[in-house]
Structure 1
Amino acid sequence: MTTTLPLSREQVMAHRRRVGVLDERLPSGPEARHQAAAAGLTDSGPRAALLSLHARVEGTRSSDWEAPGLVQLWGPRFSAYVIAEEDRATFSLGRLPTRGARRELAEDLAERLDAVLRGREMPYGEAGRAVGVHHNQLRYAALTGRVLIRWDGARQPTVRCVPPPPVDTSTARLDLARRYLHVMGPGTAEGFGRWAGLHGRSTLPAFEALGPELLPVRTVVGEGWILAGDEASLRSSPGPAAAARLLPSGDSYTLFWGPDRELLVPDAGDRAALWTPRVWPGAVLVGGEVVGTWRRAEEKVTVTAFRALTAREREAVEEEAVGLPLPGLTAPISVRWS
């Protein structure tokens, strides 16, 4: 009988920062960008993926969200994502039902879209009209792995079709579950479903198939699972945390629901400020802890702290803010504290 491993909050947070590349930035390069995008980089807020890269990779440039080897698609929860091209099957086919009406719809839309585009790239409103559906329905076609998008945050996304990934749906689903458990763990089948945008009991077969790779654990918010390969990381002593990081709305480090949020942000009031009913703000990390939120309007960054920060901590946050590699600004970035 496998013993349930008790894990402290400090162990879990240190592991998540370590695998999420938030304690120390990686040297710039394709491998670093791919590692930073292991759980996908949400890009539903204009250039959020770029800011997630900047938090993890040295020397990130304003154009690196579309660097060679990275692609954009409608990923989990049909949000815009930037991922490594080699992970296209994981973030598309990993969410495709194995059978049923939704799969048939996705495959039919992908076929019809490919026939309309004939190798071209087209604004998705125009593409939807050409296919004969509301353009938002084209998001279902992305489940097949055949549809990529390009969205610069200002205009309507464009769509293009590519060959289907040479991976079966079950293999892709298992890899997606492993990504979730590695970067977001400890996790549960329900948590995986919320993160990946999967419904009902469709996540259970993946967790059952991963059974030999999993270890049961218990944290202050309940029981869950980790990958056995991550046990050493979770047991190891925390390393030094970064002085400060500004994470955009939807960054993988904060992409939680339910009790998982309590582990990341213990105070209920602070959780309400970070995970708002509408558009979430970004998260301010200082010394590895979420200590506030931030929002941006053009070059103006507004930071709201949950507690009084020291002069050195405020300086570290401001240094991160002015270094954001944002394109198209007409004035230097300034920081306002509220």
Structure 2
Amino acid sequence: MSTPTTVIREQVLRYRVAAHELDRVGAHGDTAVLDLGVQDTGPDGARWALEIRGTRVSDEDLFLAWTLRGAPHAYRRAEAAQVAAAVAPWSEADAAKRVFDASRPLKKAGIPVLDALDHIAETMRDIAARPVVKGEMSGALTERLEEPYLRWCNPCQATHAYEQPFRLSALRAGLELEPGTSPPVLRRIPRWRGPAKSVPDHLDPVRSVLRLLGPSTPKLVAGYIDSPVRDVKEHWPEDVVPVELAGQSLDVLADDLDALVDPPTVDAVRLLGPFDLFLQSRDRELVVPGADARKDLWRTLGRPGGVLVGHEVVGSWRPRSKGKKLQVAVTVWDGGTVPAGVEEQAERLAAFRGQAFDGFVQ
């Protein structure tokens, strides 16, 4: 076994900024984060994440689907079948973990979760002969599915299909989410022939997490994918090398070691969306060392975005829309003034939204 290379926190964060292409200028037709999917949660979502990476692609070049953790993610449309294969559960245990409490009634009824997902997918595809709103799809599923697939929902005072199996079955059914719809509209992916038989390396979620959020461990990667650690270990790449960070043993893809050891110095300033991939790693103490700052940034409800200056997340931000004007509330965790470059990014956000920037507010 090779001797681990020692790295420090600054190297890791500078490496990630470069891997995420957050330091790019100009317009580009693609970005590496599309390999893992760009989460589309919130008013700006995936489109803003692409914008701050200089990525200019049309809606026709992307497709949106519920995938990892049941969250909506944007991917390259040309890779829809490969993505469906890449994000599918690896095993029965993996499927059971991903659907949470929905696995218990299925197990009691003797129905494997993987079989259940296929059954739900087949039913959903039949229902979605035309574009269908999520609520309509849910109601139709309730009429067609048996008891182990259904639960009582107190907030709605109604019976529904379990949420996670519902979401994870949609792409298996060849259904995508129509962009800009709320509530979401599901529609058939054109020319769908089912998930691909194999997954290319760049779409493998374990390799992608290692490349974009590395160096890492099976436990951290499992936390991102929402899979059992055992399954992640079984899919751990052979071409990794060990590194040591603050006494912790981690792995990085061998091809990325040089970039990790000698990452570029970055001075970019970016307003990261609340669910930007840069903020999605499970080693939050590394990304934001301060406990109070982590509490501010990763709230359970009403999560703000992060202010990235160079390789450091130095504060949080929230948009304040007033008609055609946009104000931005910025909290700098060290109590200092708004960093240079943030105003330019706020103006960029306003223009992206079709508004005019109207200054900072508390």
Q: What TM-score results when the alignment is normalised by the length of structure 2?
A: 0.79
For each residue in 1:103-157, what CA deviation from the matched residue of structure 2 results, as whole angstroms up to 9, or x when unmatched?
Answer: 2122111111112222x2111111222233636342021352722112426x210
Show the 5 A alignment for 1:1-338: 1-25=1-25, 27-30=26-29, 32=30, 34-57=31-54, 67-89=59-81, 91-100=83-92, 101-118=112-129, 120-132=130-142, 134=160, 136=163, 137-142=165-170, 144=172, 146-152=174-180, 155-162=182-189, 163-168=192-197, 175-207=204-236, 210-211=237-238, 213-220=239-246, 222-242=248-268, 244-257=269-282, 260-298=283-321, 299-309=326-336, 313-314=339-340, 316-324=341-349, 332-338=356-362
What secondary structure, in the 3-state scheme, does the structure 2 residue paired with 1:224 have? strand
CA contact (8 A) 2:127 2:140 kept: yes
CA contact (8 A) 1:11 1:237 kept: yes
Aligned counterparts of 2:45 and 2:315: Cα–Cα separation in 1 = 18
What is the percent sequence identity of the aligned residues?
27
Moved over 4 A (4+): 169-174, 308-311, 325-329
CA contact (8 A) 1:20 1:253 kept: yes
For each residue in 1:212-240, what CA deviation from the matched residue of structure 2 results, as whole angstroms up to 9, or x when unmatched?
Answer: x1111111272211111101111224233
Which segment is superposed worse, 285-294 or 232-241? Answer: 232-241
What root-mean-square deviation, in Å, do the aligned CA atoms of Structure 1 and Structure 2 show? Answer: 2.6
Partner of 2:98: none
Consecutive unaligned residues in structure 1, runs of 5 or more: none
Structure 1 residue 51: Cα displacement: 1.3
Consecutive unaligned residues in structure 2, runs of 5 or more: 93-111, 146-159
Q: What TM-score results when the alignment is normalised by the length of structure 1?
A: 0.85
Distance change in 2, residues 1:28/1:216 (3 Å): same
Aligned counterparts of 2:41 and 2:358: Cα–Cα separation in 1 = 24
- Letter of the 1:231 counterpart: L
What secondary structure, in the 3-state scheme, does the structure 1 residue paired with 2:334 have? coil
Aligned counterparts of 1:221 and 1:161: Cα–Cα separation in 2 = 49
Structure 1 residue 252: Cα displacement: 0.5
- Letter of the 1:22 counterpart: L
Aligned counterparts of 2:63 and 2:8: Cα–Cα separation in 1 = 37
Distance change in 2, residues 1:145/1:46 (3 Å): farther
Aligned counterparts of 2:232 and 2:203: Cα–Cα separation in 1 = 10
- Letter of the 1:140 counterpart: L
Which segment is superposed worse, 182-191 or 87-96? Answer: 87-96
What secondary structure, in the 3-state scheme, does the structure 2 residue paired with 1:73 have? strand
Distance change in 2, residues 1:150/1:170 (3 Å): same
Structure 1 residue 200: Cα displacement: 4.9
Structure 1 residue 85: Cα displacement: 2.1
Structure 1 residue 54: Cα displacement: 1.5
Distance change in 2, residues 1:83/1:182 (3 Å): same
What secondary structure, in the 3-state scheme, does the structure 2 residue paired with 1:21 have? coil
Q: Which has the larger radius of gyration?
A: 2
Distance change in 2, residues 1:309/1:219 (3 Å): same
Distance change in 2, residues 1:182/1:173 (3 Å): closer
For each residue in 1:10-55, what CA deviation from the matched residue of structure 2 results, as whole angstroms up to 9, or x when unmatched?
Answer: 1111110111011223x4243x2x4342332111212211111111
Structure 1 residue 166: Cα displacement: 4.9
Aligned counterparts of 1:221 and 1:319: Cα–Cα separation in 2 = 39
CA contact (8 A) 1:173 1:206 kept: no
Aligned residue pairs total 319
